[in-house]
Structure 1
Amino acid sequence: MVDNKRTFTAPPILLESNLTFSNDGPPLPTVTVTRERCINPSLIDSFLRFLRHGSDDIIRQKLNNYRKSSSNGENRCEEFLRKELYPNWQIRSSIISFCEKEAAEMKAETDQKFCNTGESAAKPIIEARIDPYAAKERAEEQEARHRDWTNLTDWVANNRRIEQILTSTTEGILKQNCEQNEDYLKQFAQFCKNNS
């Protein structure tokens, strides 16, 4: 297994906004994502909660702040999207994609280790004769790896659903407050292409 890790930093404008959470304490400005953190995602969950709250949960308030600071309504929306919303969405998507990739690698590694055929398939039988606990330990290890993989794929699927709901709701608010005929999700996909 290659020790993959990637560090994500919240958009600077979000860190300057002094957002606080009643039960989480001060928000994390950065998070380093590894396979272990994907499997036990409490730190990642806190970071995602901070990002989601900082843009989607308070979007109307954010747009009002931009309205006060900008004479041109069109510019305020464009500025909010470019500086805050799209970078925020991109970080969240990248974190979930990182964990999704780790889940796929875990599955491949587990399959390779435990589902080999031929010569290595006879190995557990020989090990069981020499060490009666080897087969049990092997089964327990396989079960633990499978459980970690299942939990991680469930976490990824759940977070993809959350993102889909949030981005869709936010797009509706943008259509009410900015340009009604824009496809903000398509714009976001283009933003990701330009900033990858």
Structure 2
Amino acid sequence: MAQPPSSPVLTPQFCFSTATLRDFLRISRSSVDDTITQHLNALLTPARAGFDPLSTSQKGARPLSRQIDSRSCQNFKDKVLFPSWQSRSHVLSYCALVATSPDPDDPEAAVREAENERNRERIVDARLDPYSARFIPREPRTEQLASLIRMEQGIENIVRSRTWGVVRERCGESADTWEQALAGWRMTENFERSGA
């Protein structure tokens, strides 16, 4: 059974390094969600009776996907799927917090302030140059990070919905949404960790 990628060490620098953040999310999604069908196929046990030669003489559509044993499905969800989702949720939550916190270490703060000061001192004559009034200030890196996090959270919702649809189809289990299933798993995990 596949193992979910390990969670990175979370620091503000990890979040501000958008390539590193995106790489973690991409690798985590590709190792579990993008290959969900292969993971579920691996849970199927081979036929116990062996090959039946008469099966090739029968015409008719075979089911495209066979149901998987509920214990195997639950084990996969508990050990691989939900921990992967939880890891990504934790990273996105942490980075969202970083994006809303003050950023005293912003390396471009002085450059932005100098640009703003030059813009205030500029003389604008829209009759001579209609574009002279246009000034597009640089976004602080916290705003850039917040925008990236919003986009990645949207992607995460789409990926999880798609993955959960495949899991529900193949495992034949509850009609819960992925949000309800993940919340139930989190409660169980917290209950087990607390030793109750």
RMSD of aligned C-alpha atoms?
A: 3.3
Query: Which residue does the alignment assign to 1:4?
Result: none
TM-score under structure 2 normalisation?
A: 0.63
Query: Which residue does the alignment assign to 1:95?
Result: 91
Query: Relative to 1, partners in 2 of residues 1:184 and 1:62: Cα closer, same or farther, differing over 3 Å?
Result: farther
Query: Which residue does the alignment assign to 2:144?
Result: 151
- Between the two structures, name the one with larger relative contact order (CA 8 Å, sep ≥ 6): 2
Question: C-alpha distance in 1, partners of 2:102/2:93?
Answer: 14
SS of 2:175 mapped into structure 1: coil
Query: Which residue does the alignment assign to 1:42?
Result: 19
Question: C-alpha distance in 2, partners of 1:180/1:79?
Answer: 13
Query: Relative to 1, partners in 2 of residues 1:34 and 1:189: Cα closer, same or farther, differing over 3 Å?
Result: same
SS of 2:158 mapped into structure 1: helix
> Identity percentage over the alignment?
24
Q: Tell me by how many angstroms 1:75 deviates.
A: 1.1
Of residues 158, 166, 177, the one that matches 2:159 is 166
Question: C-alpha distance in 1, partners of 2:75/2:87?
Answer: 18
Q: Tell me by how many angstroms 1:179 deviates.
A: 2.1
Matches within 5 A, 1:48-127: 48-68=25-45, 73-106=69-102
Greater helix share, 1 or 2?
1
Native 8 Å contact 1:55 1:88 kept in 2: yes
Question: C-alpha distance in 1, partners of 2:4/2:85?
Answer: 12
Query: Relative to 1, partners in 2 of residues 1:102 and 1:195: Cα closer, same or farther, differing over 3 Å?
Result: farther
Greater strand share, 1 or 2?
1
Question: C-alpha distance in 2, partners of 1:189/1:63?
Answer: 22
Q: Tell me by how many angstroms 1:97 deviates.
A: 0.2
Query: Which residue does the alignment assign to 2:171?
Result: 178
Corresponding letter in the other structure for 1:41: T
Corresponding letter in the other structure for 2:100: A
The count of residues paired between Structure 1 and Structure 2 equals 147
Native 8 Å contact 1:100 1:156 kept in 2: yes
TM-score under structure 1 normalisation?
A: 0.63
Question: C-alpha distance in 2, partners of 1:136/1:51?
Answer: 38
SS of 1:68 mapped into structure 2: coil
Q: Tell me by how many angstroms 1:48 deviates.
A: 1.4
Q: Tell me by how many angstroms 1:169 deviates.
A: 0.4
Query: Relative to 1, partners in 2 of residues 1:91 and 1:30: Cα closer, same or farther, differing over 3 Å?
Result: closer
Corresponding letter in the other structure for 2:36: I
Once the two structures are superposed, residues 5-53 of structure 1 have per-residue CA deviations (whole angstroms, 9 ceiling, x without a partner) of xxxxxx98246xxxxxxxxxxxxx5522211221222112112111101
The ranges of structure 1 where at least 4 consecutive aligned residues each deviate by more than 6 angstroms after the TM superposition are none
Native 8 Å contact 2:4 2:83 kept in 1: no
Of residues 159, 167, 190, the one that matches 2:184 is 190
Query: Which residue does the alignment assign to 2:58?
Result: none
Query: Relative to 1, partners in 2 of residues 1:67 and 1:152: Cα closer, same or farther, differing over 3 Å?
Result: same
Query: Relative to 1, partners in 2 of residues 1:68 and 1:106: Cα closer, same or farther, differing over 3 Å?
Result: farther
Q: Which protein is bigger by CA-based radius of gyration?
A: 2
Once the two structures are superposed, residues 80-99 of structure 1 have per-residue CA deviations (whole angstroms, 9 ceiling, x without a partner) of 10010000000000000000
